[in-house]
Amino acid sequence: MAIIQPFKAVHPTADKVSLVTSRSYDDYGATELAAYLEFNPFSFLHILNPAYMNQQKIGFDKRFKAVAHKYADFKRDGILVQEEKAVLYLYQIESKNHAFIGILAGTSIKDYQDNVIKKHEDTLQYRVDLFKDYLHQTGFNTEPVLMTYNSTTALSEWIKAKSQERPLLDFSTTNKEKHTLWKIADENEIQWLQEQFKSIGDLYIADGHHRSASAELLYEQDKNSGNQNLDYFMSYLIADSNVKIYEYNRLIRDLNGFSKEDFIKKLADNFVIKSKKQELWKPKHKFEFGMYLDNDFYSLKLKEENFIFDDALSGLDAQILYKTVLQPILGIDDLRTDDRIAYVPGTKSITTIKEQVDNGEFEVGFMLFPISIKEIKDLADANLIMPPKSTFIEPKFRSGLVVYEI
C-alpha cells in the first residue's frame, strides 16, 4: 500500500520556463556549461553551480550554501514561484520516438524503509552522504526519483482525460523535446489518486537509488526537527509499461594476457561463437551477446545447457557476462572501481564501441541485450542487487522544472 503526498512545489513562471530548466548538471561538458552560464541568466544551472569559475577552489560546504543563496535569489526575483497549497502534477515528456507521462508526488520515507518502495541497485555510501549534505544545506531537491507501478485501467483513463485539459506549463527544448505539466490541485482528485496508489501496492525504483537513500539518511539525521517535509521525497511515478530501458555495454582495455585466439577459445567453453565480420551486429535476444575484437564483430550465444539459473540475478545477462567472461577470463573483480572497464549506454550508437576499440584505447567491446522491466521487478521482489551499470533508463527529468523544498 503505497502512500503519495501532495507538496507545495516551486516551479518557473510560464514565460521563463524554457529558459530556466536544464538537463541534469552532469550532462554538460565544461565548454557547453560555460556557454549556458554566460548567455542565459535564467538557467537553473546558475543555481546548481553558482561559483562555476571557482568551483575547484571552494569546499562542498561553501558551495552548497552558495547554491541555497542563489536559489533564494531566483525566488526573490520571481523567476521561481511557489504553490500556495500542496498539489500533485501530471507531467509528460515527448520526444521524436517516445512519450512518457506520469505523476509527480511526494513518496514516503516509511514506505522506503518498509520495502513498499522496492530497490534493485546498490549504492555508494560516499555519494549517499554527499547528497544528504547537499539536501541539508540547500533545503531543496529538483531531481525526482523515477518509480514504476503496475497500472490500472482507471488510472490510465484518468491520465488520458487529464492530459486533455489546459496545462500549467507547456514548452519545448533545444534537444527537440516537448514538456507539459498539469497541476492537480482539486482535493477530490488528489484523494482519488491517493486511493489508487494505495490499491496498486508496491512501487519500484527505476532510477534514483542514491537520491532516495540520501533522503532517508537526511530523515534519520533531522527527523526530530519537526519538519514534516522530511517524511517524503519527490518522485516521478510512471507505469512500468511506459519506461524505456537501454543496456549498458562494456569496453575492456586488454585481454588479461591472452592472445586473441586463446581468448576466443576460452569463450567457446560457454558460448556458440559466430563471426559477423564488419556487420554492426548487436544482440536481438536474451542470452545473446555481441563482441567487437580486432576489427570484427562476433555473436556469442550462451550455451544454456551449461547453466542452472536458480534466482533472478543468476539469469541476468549482465551477471552472466560477469561470471563467465569478465571475472574468470579477464580478471575484473570489481565492476565499479576497476579502471580496465568502461561503460557505454545503449542510447549511443554501436559505432562508439567500434571507434574506441579501433583507436587502441580498448581491446574488446561487449554488447548486451536490454534488461526487461520484469527482470528488474523480479530482482527487487527477491531483494537482490543487479551488477553496476546494467541499465540506462528513460525518461530523464529536467532540473528546475519542479522543486521539492525540505
Residue-wise pLDDT tens for the chain (406 aa)?
A: 899 999 999 999 999 999 999 988 888 888 888 888 889 999 999 999 876 545 556 788 888 999 999 999 999 999 999 999 999 999 999 988 899 999 999 999 999 999 999 999 999 999 999 999 999 999 999 999 999 999 999 999 999 999 999 999 999 998 899 999 999 999 999 999 999 999 998 999 999 999 999 999 999 999 999 999 999 999 999 999 999 999 999 999 999 999 999 999 999 999 999 999 999 999 999 999 999 999 999 999 999 999 999 999 999 999 999 999 999 999 999 999 999 999 999 999 999 999 999 999 999 999 999 999 999 999 999 999 999 999 999 999 999 999 999 9
Q: Which CATH class is domain 245-392?
A: alpha beta
pLDDT of residue 34: 84
Domain ranges, ordered by start, for the chain: 4-242, 245-392
**Which pTM does this prediction carry?**
0.93
pLDDT of residue 174: 87
Measured in whole angstroms, how far is the alpha carbon of residue 200 from the centre of its chain? 23
pLDDT of residue 207: 95
pLDDT of residue 156: 96
